[in-house]
Amino acid sequence: MATYRWRRLGSGGVEHLDLLPRDDRLRARSVVDLGPVRLEYAMELDAAWTFRGLRLRSSDRRQLDLSRDDDGSWWVDGAARTDLADAVDVDLSFSPFTNTLPIRRLDLAVGTAADIVTAYVDGDTFEVSPDPQRYTRLDTDRYVYESRDGDFHREISVDADGLVVDYPGLFTRLADDG
């Protein structure tokens, strides 16, 4: 098991994530303290870091179940979502961990880019929508993340495992407790 912690810049919220290998899958368990609201999620990934499932719960009793079948079909709270058909990864608005999924899955060479679609989960509303994005690998530990349907972009730095160390203006990873 590996543990990671990030501070949300501006609001001071903190995410505490445990990453656990399970047979041929990975499981992420996380608690995200956003101040007045606390979010908890469990995410299943396959060995190639491809999203399989998410259970998201909030301290104010909201919940979301999101999954993607082997054939690429998406399900939100048990209902089929054909508008997500082009998505492979999930993007949680409140967590830098989900940047790791495309970084690991795509394994881009330095100087190359890839356009993807994610199933974007808004942390305030728990709404899920398709979100076109682009990742460009600048160096061994630096990527540019861009929203392809807006003007948002950031240069993010990652560790050797592809986990975010610094996401300017949004998140910074905290030092290990020892």
pLDDT digit string (tens) for 6-21?
999 988 799 999 999 9
CB within 8 Å of 19: residues ≥ 6 apart: 1, 2, 3, 4, 26, 27, 28
pLDDT band at 177 (very low <50, low <70, confident <90, very high): very low
Q: What is the pLDDT of residue 160?
A: 95
Q: What is the pLDDT of residue 30?
A: 98
DSSP H or E stretch at residue 6:
strand 2-8
Amino acid identity, position 64: L
pLDDT band at 176 (very low <50, low <70, confident <90, very high): low
Q: How far is CA 54 from CA 51, 57, 90, 145, in A?
A: 8, 10, 9, 22
Distance CA(27)–CA(30), nearest Å, equals 10
For β-strands 89-92 and 113-121, DSSP reports them as parallel
Specify burial of residue 137 (Cβ count, 10 A radius: 0-12, 13-18, 19+): buried
pLDDT digit string (tens) for 137-171?
999 999 999 999 988 999 999 999 999 999 999 99
* Torsion angle defined by CA atoms of residues 76, 82, 88 and 89, in that order, rounded to the nearest 10 degrees: -40
Q: Taking a C-beta distance cutoff of 8 angstroms, is the pair 40, 57 a contact?
A: yes
* Torsion angle defined by CA atoms of residues 116, 117, 119 and 122, in that order, rounded to the nearest 10 degrees: 90
Q: Global pTM?
A: 0.93
> What is the mean predicted confidence (pLDDT) over 122-130?
96
Residue ranges of alpha helices (H) inside 1-58 are: none
pLDDT band at 23 (very low <50, low <70, confident <90, very high): confident
More reliable by pLDDT, 24 or 103: 103
pLDDT digit string (tens) for 26-55?
999 999 999 889 999 999 999 999 999 999
Q: What is the pLDDT of residue 178?
A: 39
Question: 19, 17, 18: which is closest to 33 by C-alpha?
Answer: 17
pLDDT digit string (tens) for 60-101?
999 999 999 999 999 999 999 999 999 999 999 999 999 999
Say which DSSP state 62 is in: -
